[in-house]
Structure formats: structure tokens, C-alpha cells
A and B are shown apart, each in its own frame.
Chain A
């Protein structure tokens, strides 16, 4: 069984080629480097923490409000997925004990690229993310939050019709005894509005901003 102290590269420098490949979004090279590390006997956990999570942290620092763009994030996300497939051919198990989030693009909005980015960022940090897809009814999202024991509910919206759906979310959660579950919104349309106007706890400027909020205010950890 893998462990953080198993054999393999002993310094973080050994992971630099993987981090470099991830940050330029070269999914083929990233997968090849990860395969090489595995063959050297490096543990999966170290590859995740010193490779994937380190790269995500660097990307986080790079992605300011002014420079955040979907293309670069998507390329890194694809490279991360390629490495995950090398490490976990049977499927990626989130870090044990980390929180579960449920996420969706609500009914009336089929644009889910932003949601997918958030899912990728949170999964890259080891969280379990239950993705209900796009055009999702509020009731389905609330049911999933209940069933999954979600630490927070996340909604993304690119277009304005979704605003009225977001405003239904808190009352629906309350009606199911989930008043304590925080709601975080994001996306081009939703981020133009204040949290109180949407009846949510936080409106994230981008995926990393949302992840920081969840780490600091929902989970009570320092965050990256």
C-alpha cells in the first residue's frame, strides 16, 4: 500500500518536471512523467501532494482576477485528469476524511464550463465533489446535498435567468432541515450580484476564490 514515506524520489525537485508539464497544460507529457515516477516507486500520495496539489497552488497564485481565463485552467485540468488516470486507473478516490460538496448549474442554464472548472479545482485539492450537471432543478440539488451530507452547495451561472433559481435554493434547503449548509455562487452572471441579493453565503470571483472561501470559512482550514 502507498504511503507518504514510501520509497521513490526524496526531494520535491524530482516532481518539478511533473509540475512544469501540468502548468503548461501538456497532458501527454504530464501523464508520461507521472508514469515514470510510479515506475520509480514513488507513492501515489506524494505524486498527488507534491505534484498535482503543488501545481494547483502555483496556478492559484497565477490566476488573479485580471488573468483568470478558462483556456489555461482547462488545459491544466486536462493534464491533471491525465495524471489521475495514470495513478488511479480504477477511479480517483478523494482524500480520506475531506469534505463533500455538491455542485450544479441550475435549471435555465446549460453553460457548465465554469462549473467544471470549480469541480476540477476542488477535486485537485482532494475534496469529493458530487456534480449534478447542468440545467439542474433546485429540488435535485437539495436532495443531493441531503443524501451526500454536503459541507456546502455550489452553484454556477453564466446567464441571468438562473438568478431566480438561485434565490429559491436557500428556502428549499431550509425546508429540508439544511439551513446550516452554506451556499456559494459564481459565474459571469451571478458574480455581478451581492450575496444578500442572491440569498447565498458567498459570491466567488473565480474558482480559486470560491475554493479559498470553502477552506477558510466552511471547513475552517487555512486554505492555500
Chain B
């Protein structure tokens, strides 16, 4: 059973030879490869090389063409500020609060901003790995992109002041996520993870999520599935207990859950969905490797007999995380 087969079986809740190891290692791969984050985020070949190196080092089952949450806004004209060792910041909004999003046109993923970097990385990773390991793409969900286009405060106020305008922005961002995701599938991604941090219950109430976000996420996941994705994956960090049960109805085959929920709670809310989580991401900076290994082992034990589990973190493992802690997570699987 190779890495991709292992993950695919887990997404279908079928037995696997060992728990798939799918930590959210994105920018950390740049550090491993000796690259600056800025270079990593501008060169698809370099990103692919670093991801493959990262997988070899920690024996993970997946590689990721995740860049940052500025990609979609940048492709629509937003200025970004780059620094050598950090993810970029969106420093100017594409839309003012009073702007109608209907003036926006979908960008061409083959040419707009750094979208081609992602596509180049996917092609390179697929060329290197074939179907041995999961090659995953990434798009921002509708709320996250809308927050980047308007600025998060303006986007949130629109929910109350002008719901039709926010709905129009969300609909545009939905079409954008589908178009960008389909381009990633065409470039070689087996699946495309939908990241939607701005729809976390830490940001918006569950009722807002169900009314504004969930229907659009369903369209994104459906569009990716229709476009050939091997499975769908929804990734929202934070205290998601109030929304997790909706993921199955939205159409997520894999659901990330963060450290706020226990494995038992997540299994109760999503009994028929593959779960990915939920190690505390900043423990990889701070906790002793032995602690990380112990927590990872407890998670594996918690899912014994269920299948449908990917050992991961609830959020991205920081680029500056300690190599020993990541290795400790991997070591937890060696005793299975």
C-alpha cells in the first residue's frame, strides 16, 4: 500500500496498513530545503523540490502546493508585502466597503499573480511522485477570499449592513475557488484542500456559517468533485464544534478538526467522515518532542478500529517549528 492508496482508503473509512501521516507542513518545507520563504512562494519548481524533500525527511504521505492566503487577492490586483522569512501580508484591499464585487472578473489561473507558481509546483510534484503520494492543491474558501478582498472588518460589517453585497462577493469568491481549483486538478493535483479560516466560529457565529458560507462551500466542493478530485477536504481551524456536523452535508470527504475538539467529539459529530487532526500547531514550536509523540500516539489510539483518520495538526505547523518535534509525530506511527 503506497501513500496515496493509504490516504484514499482512509478517506473512504476503509482499513489501512497504518495511520496516514499528513501533517500541515507548508512553509516549513522551505526551511528544510534551505530556501527563504519568499523564494519558496515565487518558484513552483523550488516549492515542489522542497515539498518532496520534506516528505522524504519525515516520511509523510502527502505533499502540498499551498502558498499563502494572499494568492487569490493578489491575482485580482491586491498589493502584497513580502519578507524573506514570513508569509506575505495583503497591504491594500481590492474592494472598498462601498464597492460592488460585480466589477471583478475571474482571473486566469495560468497567468494571474502567483497562481501559476502553484500550478507549476503541482506539475513538478506530480511528475516526481506520480501516484505514490497524495499531491494536494489548495484554495481559499469564499469567506476567506472575501475577507481578503474587502478587508476582514469591512467584510464582516457587510454581513449586517449590506447582506446582498456580501452574498455577491461570496458568490464571486465561490466561482474563483472552483476555477482555481479546477486548474490545480488539471495541473496534477489529486485533491484540492479548501481552507476557510475566516469562517471559523472564532470569527463568525455558526448561524452565519450555515446561512452565508455553507451553501457556497458545498458548491466549491461539488465543483472540485465534478472536476475529477479524488476526494474533497475542508479545513477550518479553531473551535469548530458548532459547525462540524454540517461538513458532511456540505460534501466534505475529509474534515480537519483543531485542538479545541477531542477525537471523540469530532467522531460523534462526523461519524461517517474521514477526520484529520488535531495536534496543537504551536506545540511544534514549544513542547518537548516527547510530548508531541505522546499526543500523536494518543490520537492514533483514539481512532483505532474506526479507520478514516489522517494524523495531522489542527492548523499549519509553523515554518519555524522544530524538526525534532515533527520527527516525534512521525515516530508515534512506528509503534503501530
Q: What residues of chain A have their CB less than 8 Å away from a CB belonging to chain B?
A: 25, 65-72, 74-75, 78, 108, 110, 113, 159-161, 163-164, 188-189, 192-194, 197
Contacts and interface: CB of A to CB of B under 8 A. Distances in A.
B239 interface: yes
Contact of B205 (A71, A78, A164, A197): A71
Given A65-B239, A66-B242, A74-B156, 8 more contacts: A66-B239, A69-B204, A71-B156, A71-B205, A74-B153, A113-B153, A163-B285, A194-B286
B241 A72 contact: no
Contacts of B203: 69-71
Q: Which 3 A-B pairs have the closest CB atoms?
A: A160-B318, A192-B282, A110-B89
19 contacts: A65-B239, A66-B242, A69-B204, A70-B156, A71-B159, A71-B203, A71-B208, A113-B152, A160-B281, A161-B86, A188-B202, A188-B238, A189-B282, A192-B280, A192-B281, A192-B282, A192-B286, A194-B286, A197-B286
B157 A78 contact: yes
Contacts of A67: 205
B320 interface: yes
B283 to A, nearest CB: 7
Given A69-B205, A71-B204, A71-B208, A160 B153 contact: no
Nearest to A158: B197
B160 to A, nearest CB: 6
B289 interface: no
A84 B205 CA distance: 26
B241 A66 contact: yes
B202 to A, nearest CB: 6
A193 B91 CA distance: 28
Interface of B: 85-87, 89, 91, 152-153, 156-157, 159-160, 201-205, 208, 237-239, 241-242, 259, 280-283, 285-286, 318-320
A69 B242 CA distance: 12
A65 B286 CA distance: 23
Contacts of A68: 202
Contacts of B318: 160-161
Contacts of A66: 239, 241-242
Given A66-B241, A71-B205, A160 B157 contact: no
B179 to A, nearest CB: 27
Nearest to A70: B203
A133 B282 CA distance: 24
Contacts of A75: 157, 160
A30 B282 CA distance: 41
A72 B203 CA distance: 9
B157 A74 contact: yes
Nearest to A206: B202
Contacts of B237: 188
Contact of A25 (B153, B160, B201, B239): B160
Given A66-B242, A108-B86, A163 B153 contact: no
A192 B282 CA distance: 6
A74 B86 CA distance: 28
Contacts of A193: 282, 285-286
Chain B CB within 10 Å, residue with most, of A188, A189, A197: A188
